[in-house]
Structure 1
Amino acid sequence: MKRVIAIIRQEKLEDVKSALVSAGCEGMTVNEVKGRGKQLGIKESYRGSNYCIDLIPKTRIELVIKKEDLEEVLKTIQESARTGEIGDGKIFVSPVEEVVRIRTGENGREAV
């Protein structure tokens, strides 16, 4: 099993969520987060004063999926989250050793 964490633009959440559901990924956790990458924030000017917003609001989507679904999920997230501009986000993938469904006690692949 794999854990996929996608950090995306807030305005792309509905597109990504719909695409993932269409691809068969119904379970996900979504959080509003703030962060920055290579962009190092946004420089703006207000009433003649320059300032920098260095932590930009983003959305974090977390999924635990079967290993064989990984390529499809990565492709789905990339296609639905991409705008082509700086700040589109990142996807992180890591292994999951065990999953247990609390309600039924199922574990492993059956719990996903």
Structure 2
Amino acid sequence: MKEIEFIINSEKLEALKHVLDQCSASGITVDFVMGYGHQRGLKQVYTREERRGVNLLPKISVRTVVPDDHVDSIIDAVVDRLGTSSFGDGKIFVRAVEQAVRIRTNERGVEAL
């Protein structure tokens, strides 16, 4: 099993949910986060004399756990649907998951997804 984490702009959340539903992802977890990538965030002027960088941008972190053989097709579908070839499109991280347990039934592994 693999956990896939998508860091995206909030306006892309519905499109991501649609792609994951089409790819049979069994569920998602969404967190509101702050961060920056290559674009290094925004600059805002607070006074005429003082300029501060506000380099943390609002993003959404979406996580799902899927069987190993679903990972590549999900990533390809997300990149195809959400990619604009522009800075700020986001990132995808994939991590190994050792075990999953459904508390209600004690199902384990892929069956718990």
Query: TM-score, normalised on structure 2?
Result: 0.89
Cα deviation digits, residues 44-65 of structure 1 (max 9, x gap): 4578675432100001010100
Percent identical: 38
Q: Is the Cα contact below 8 Å between 1:16 and 1:76 reproduced in 2?
A: no
After TM superposition, the runs of 4+ consecutive aligned structure 1 residues lying more than 4 A away are 44-51
- Count of aligned pairs: 112
Distance across 2 between alignment mates of 1:44 and 1:79: 33
Distance across 2 between alignment mates of 1:4 and 1:60: 10
Residue segments in structure 2 that go unaligned for 5+ positions in a row: none
Distance across 2 between alignment mates of 1:50 and 1:26: 46
Choose 67-76 or 22-31, whichever is displaced more: 22-31
Two-structure CA RMSD over aligned residues (Å):
1.7
Q: CA 1:23/1:56 → structure 2, altered by over 3 Å: closer, same or farther?
A: same
Distance across 1 between alignment mates of 2:81 and 2:34: 21
Residue segments in structure 1 that go unaligned for 5+ positions in a row: none
Residue 85 of structure 1 and its aligned partner are, at CA, apart by 1.6
